[in-house]
Amino acid sequence: MTLYPLKFKPILKERLWGGTKLKDVLGKSIESNITGESWELSGVDGDISEVANGDLKGLSLQTLIAQEGAKLLGENVVERFGKDFPILIKFIDAKQDLSIQLHPNDELAKERHNSFGKTEMWYVMDADPGAKLIVGFNKDVDKEEYVKSLENDTLLELMNYEEVAEGDTFFINTGKIHAIGAGVLLAEIQQTSDITYRVFDFNRRDKNGNLRELHTDLALDAIDYTKKDDFKVDYAHQSDEVNQMVDCPYFKTNFLHLTENLQQDVSQRDSFTIYMCVGGEAEIRNESGNVSIQKGETVLVAASSQSIEILTQGAKLLEVTI
């Protein structure tokens, strides 16, 4: 099988809080006015990505993994994760505030849900003036104070708000309470997991008039109640260089602001490489082929690639590996 750079069909998700920026800003083919998420690359059961380009068009990501294994993923990745694709890649448009939520760590997720935990990062692509994120508490709290705030409907008074602009990047480790605010369009990189504990949803109702399910009890032992300032990612923005953003056990992400072509020797990488285009356009090449990429698109390059060439006159890319 020839593993050229692969694009996948977006898996579009309507959400109560979704809007139209995935269509208006990123050019997704969407009719709904409440599409909140575009899953770009997914191995989540029931939402497996499907190849959209070239001779392999129509094959599922799981079929590719079953047939190619380490050639696609990398020996190290297969040793750690088997035939499960370990990363979920999304673009998210929040027209309204998302629910305040958190994610369990690997141990809790395995015990309760037979799943990975959910460590994630956000790269802000577009933000309305004054748009904010909620990340963590604004002071140290304990479980009793937290529970009391839920009972008294005062949780928002304990939240830490961060006003955001394009390029701002946040690392959300497990246990950290958080929410994407209205007016924010972002790229999300996360462990393959769909386990979320929703703790507050602004008392709003869905289209059928129902309040959405909360996971108050499950969240109590999963929350980090301490105030921390470890979430904002300070990274270099050097043009035509590989700028490290995040290096954690679950993924590594670099920022590429390219004004000219870039060639990389990846023969020792032992991991697939994902490119999320967050600005401009480019062409991604390996030994087996090439594909174009523009803002709002994602490409997967196989671990068997010896080199990757990016041809561009101007692009901003998030480069993701294991």
CB burial of 116-142 (b: ≥16 within 10 Å; e: otherwise) equals: bbbbbbbbbbbbeeebbbbbbbeeebe
Instruction: Count CB atoms within 10 A of the CB of residue 57.
Output: 12
Catalytic residue IDs: 198
In whole angstroms, what is the distance from residue 158 CA to residue 104 CA?
Answer: 20
Across the strands, what pairs with 126? 185
Q: What is the DSSP letter of 267?
A: T
Dihedral angle sign, alpha carbons of residues 273, 276, 279, 283: positive
Residue with tokens 């692969």: 6
Q: What is the CB neighbour count within 10 angstroms for residue 223?
A: 19
- Measure Cα distances from 109 to 39, 116, 163 in Å: 21, 6, 31
Residue 311 near residue 261, CB atoms below 8 Å: yes
Q: What residues contact residue 101 under an 8 Å CB cut-off, 6+ apart? A: 177, 178, 179, 196, 197, 198, 199
* Structure tokens that stand for 296 in this block: 């709002």
Rg (CA), the chain: 20
CA distance 78 to 73: 7
Which residue reads 């991604």 in tokens?
A: 284
> Which candidate, 3, 148, 113, 101, places its Cα nearest to that of 61?
3
